């Protein structure tokens, strides 16, 4: 039986990953500061603890694991990582987790470790044109991420590859591009654009108005959670270390994403643009490398995942006390 350790198992991607690994028949230990917010974990063991503590990292790696997924990070959407207010925490917390986990794996001779890097490592200078961003893997250098979150991810990528060179680890490094889906943060300040837009549309009566940060022309691509899990487990079970993009090539402006959510919701709303943290002008995944190496590409259009996500967020909005739009 495959055994897997999922760090960050209480988070969005981690909790979905645990479910998938269990469905595949694996024995799974999850670790996180908190349990999953939206449903009970399916992990065989769930350790509540702080991976900034090296003793906890040593404790959770006390048995052989075929697969280790290191997803724990101090993170959030633009409202959390682009304001500057959380920079020191983001860098210190996430770097400490990665430093500790790699050292624990080295000491226990655990080799197969997946690390979730981010599209935020790509240089801002290649993402000024909303129609033509360059996010091919090789474009990462000369480095110029537009956030400290991105700089920490880049540092940690390098750390994983340094452990590969010097300590015989076999890291798999993926750069995720905007993963979304049900059971992700949808309110509270750490939510990302698809969830925030679904919430705003769900909370606004037909004919009303929603606010969007920036001019709405900025572009992104969004990958549905199940597609992400397929890409990451394929990478883990390949002999390829990466770094490699896991994302969608279907690029959409934030205004058009809002219109897509409105269509799915069956509502006509007007958009008011307001100042806010927006990040780079354009970004989309470049999947040539992952397609060539793993034969992977997303299988569904963005709209399919948005429908599922909207349905779930609309239910949250109905079932919980109303939050501000």
Name the residues annotated as catalytic.
149
**Of 177, 157, 153, 151, whose CA–CA distance to 242 is shortest?**
157
CB of 206 within 8 A of CB of 263?
A: no
CB of 180 to ligand NAD, least distance (A): 7
CB of 39 to ligand NAD, least distance (A): 14
CB of 165 within 8 A of CB of 109?
A: no
Which CB, 225 or 317, lies closer to ligand NAD?
A: 225
Q: Which residues bind ligand NAD (CB under 6 A)?
A: 8, 10-14, 32-34, 50-52, 71-75, 93, 97, 116, 118, 176, 178-179
Which CB, 8 or 242, lies closer to ligand NAD?
A: 8
Verify cis geometry, omega within 30 degrees of 0, for the bond prior to 276.
Answer: no
CB of 115 to ligand NAD, least distance (A): 8
CB of 206 to ligand NAD, least distance (A): 30
Give CA–CA dist 275/248, Å, rounded: 27
Which CB, 95 or 269, lies closer to ligand NAD?
A: 95
CA torsion angle 305 175 288 242 (round to 10): -140
Structure tokens at 290: 């992952």
The three state secondary structure string of 105-148 is HHHHCCCEEEEEEEHHHCCHHHCCCCCCCCCCHHHHCCCCCCCH
Which CB, 26 or 51, lies closer to ligand NAD?
A: 51
- DSSP letters of 133-202? ----GGGG-S---SSHHHHHHHHHHHHHHHHHHHH--EEEEEEE--EE-TTS--SSS---HHHHHHHHHH
CB atoms within 10 A of CB 299: 10
Structure tokens at 117: 């890097």
Which CB, 74 or 230, lies closer to ligand NAD?
A: 74
Give CA–CA dist 241/143, Å, rounded: 20
CB of 120 to ligand NAD, least distance (A): 7
Residue number of the CB closest to ligand NAD reads 11
């Amino acid at each position: 039986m495959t055994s897997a350790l999922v760090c960050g198992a209480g988070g969005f991607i981690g909790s979905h990953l645990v479910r998938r690994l269990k469905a595949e028949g694996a024995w799974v230990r999850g670790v996180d500061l908190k349990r999953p917010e939206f449903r009970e974990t399916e992990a065989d063991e769930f350790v509540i603890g702080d991976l900034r503590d090296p003793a906890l990292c040593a404790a959770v790696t006390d048995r052989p694991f075929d697969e280790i997924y290191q997803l724990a990070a101090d993170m959030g959407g633009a409202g959390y990582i682009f304001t500057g207010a959380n920079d020191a925490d983001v860098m210190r917390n996430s770097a400490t987790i990665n430093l500790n986990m790699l050292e624990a794996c080295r000491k226990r001779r655990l080799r197969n470790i997946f690390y979730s890097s981010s599209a935020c490592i790509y240089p801002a200078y290649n993402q000024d044109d909303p129609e033509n961003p360059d996010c091919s893997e090789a474009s990462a250098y000369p480095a110029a991420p537009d956030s400290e979150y991105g700089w920490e991810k880049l540092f940690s990528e390098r750390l994983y590859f340094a452990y590969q060179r010097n300590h015989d680890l076999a890291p798999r490094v993926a750069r995720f591009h905007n993963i979304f889906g049900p059971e992700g943060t949808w309110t509270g300040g750490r939510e990302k654009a698809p969830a925030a837009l679904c919430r705003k549309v769900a909370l606004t009566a037909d004919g009303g108005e929603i606010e969007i940060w920036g001019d709405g022309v900025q572009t992104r691509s969004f990958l549905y959670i199940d597609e992400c899990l397929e890409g990451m487990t394929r990478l883990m079970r390949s002999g390829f270390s990466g770094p490699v993009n896991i994302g969608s090539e279907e690029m959409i402006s934030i205004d058009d994403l809002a219109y897509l959510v409105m269509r799915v919701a069956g509502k006509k709303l007007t958009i008011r643009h307001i100042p806010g943290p927006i990040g780079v002008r354009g970004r989309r995944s470049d999947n040539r490398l992952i397609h060539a190496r793993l034969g992977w590409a997303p299988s569904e259009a963005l709209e399919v995942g948005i429908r599922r996500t909207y349905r779930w967020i609309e239910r949250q909005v109905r079932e919980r006390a109303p939050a501000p739009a």
